[in-house]
A and B are shown apart, each in its own frame.
Chain A
Amino acid sequence: MRNFGPIFAVFAALPITATIAIAQANTAPPPSSAPIATGALADQTPPVAPQFAGPVQGDAEWSSPGRDSALTRYSTLGDINVSNVKNLRNVFTFSMGVNRGQEAAPLVVGNTLYVVSPYPNTLYALDLTQPGAPLKWRYDPPQDEAAQGVACCDVVNRGATYSDGKLYFNTLDGSTVAVDAATGKETWRTKLATIQMGETMTMAPLIAKDKVIVGNSGGELGVRGWAMALDKNTGNVIWKAYSTGPDNEVLIGPDFKPHYAQYKGSDLGVGTWPADMWKQGGGTVWGWVSYDPDLNLVYYGTSNPGPWNSTMRPGDNLWTAGIFARDADTGQARWYYQFSPHDLSDYDGVNENILIDLPSPSGAARKALVHPDRNGYIYVIDRATGELLSAEPFHPITSTKGVDLKSGRLIYNEEKRPQPNKFVKDICPAPPGAKDWQPAAFSHKTGHLYLPHNNLCMDLKETEVGYIAGTPYVGAEVLMKAGPGGHRGAFTAWDIVAGKALWSIKERFPVWSGALVTDGDVAFYGTMDGWFKAVNANTGEPLWQFKTSSGIIGQPTTWRGPDNKQYVGILSGVGGWSGAIVAGDLDPRDGTAALGFVNAMKDLPSVTTKGGTLYVFALP
Chain B
Amino acid sequence: MSSRFPSGIALCLAGMLAVAASPAAAREMRVCADPNNLPFSKQDGSGYENKIADIIAEELGAEVTYTWFAQRRGFLRNTLNAGVCDVVIGYPRNYQILRSTRPYYRSSYVFVQRAGEKPIAGYDDPSLRQMQIGVQLIGDDGANTPPVAALAKRGITANVHGYPVYGDYRTDAPLAPIMDAVGSGTIDVAVVWGPTAGYFASREKLPLQLTPILFDSSLLSQPMTFDIAVGVRKNEIALSDEIDRALRNRRKDIDAILQSYGVPRTDTASPAPASVVGSMP
Contacts and interface: CB of A to CB of B under 8 A. Distances in A.
A277 B73 contact: no
Interface residues of A, number: 54
Interface stretch (A118-126, A165-173, A305-313, A601-609): A305-313
A313 B142 CA distance: 11
Contacts of A462: 221
B165 A587 contact: no
A274 B152 CA distance: 12
B164 A314 contact: no
Given A280-B164, A314-B157, A421-B219, A346 B142 contact: yes
A469 B144 contact: no
Contact of B196 (A465, A471, A593): A471
A251 interface: no
A309 B170 contact: no
B141 A478 contact: yes
Pick the most buried of B139, B170, B174: most chain A CB atoms within 10 A of its CB: B139
A471 B193 contact: yes
Contacts of B50: none
A593 B75 CA distance: 12
Contacts, number: 186
B203 interface: no
A197 interface: yes
Interface string B67-96: 001111111011001100000001110111
Interface in A131-149: 146, 149
Closest 6 CB pairs of A and B: A475-B143, A196-B169, A307-B139, A222-B164, A222-B139, A311-B152
Interface of B: 34, 37, 39-40, 69-75, 77-78, 81-82, 90-92, 94-97, 132, 136-146, 148-149, 151-153, 157-162, 164-166, 168-170, 174-175, 193, 195-196, 219, 221-223, 226
A595 interface: yes
A281 to B, nearest CB: 10
Given A275-B159, A280-B139, 12 more contacts: A149-B75, A195-B169, A198-B164, A280-B164, A314-B157, A420-B144, A420-B152, A467-B91, A469-B37, A469-B72, A474-B223, A587-B97
Contacts of A312: 144, 148, 151-152, 157, 160
A311 B40 CA distance: 30
Contacts of A458: none
Given A465-B92, A469-B71, A476-B143, A309 B152 contact: yes
A220 B145 CA distance: 15
30 contacts: A149-B70, A149-B75, A198-B164, A221-B139, A221-B140, A222-B139, A276-B161, A307-B140, A308-B162, A309-B144, A309-B148, A311-B152, A312-B144, A312-B157, A420-B144, A421-B221, A462-B221, A465-B96, A468-B139, A469-B37, A469-B72, A470-B34, A470-B40, A470-B90, A470-B165, A471-B193, A471-B196, A472-B193, A473-B145, A590-B96
Interface of A: 146, 149-150, 152, 194-198, 220-222, 274-277, 280, 306-314, 346, 420-421, 462-476, 478, 584-587, 589-590, 593, 595-596
A471 B158 CA distance: 23
A473 B146 contact: yes
Contacts of B81: 587
A220 B159 CA distance: 22
A157 B179 CA distance: 37
Contact of A471 (B132, B138, B221): B138
Contacts of A221: 72, 139-140, 164, 166
B101 to A, nearest CB: 15
B164 to A, nearest CB: 4
Contacts of A152: 73
B52 to A, nearest CB: 14
A146 B138 CA distance: 19
Contacts of A420: 144, 149, 152, 222
Given A221-B166, A467-B92, A470-B196, A308 B175 contact: no
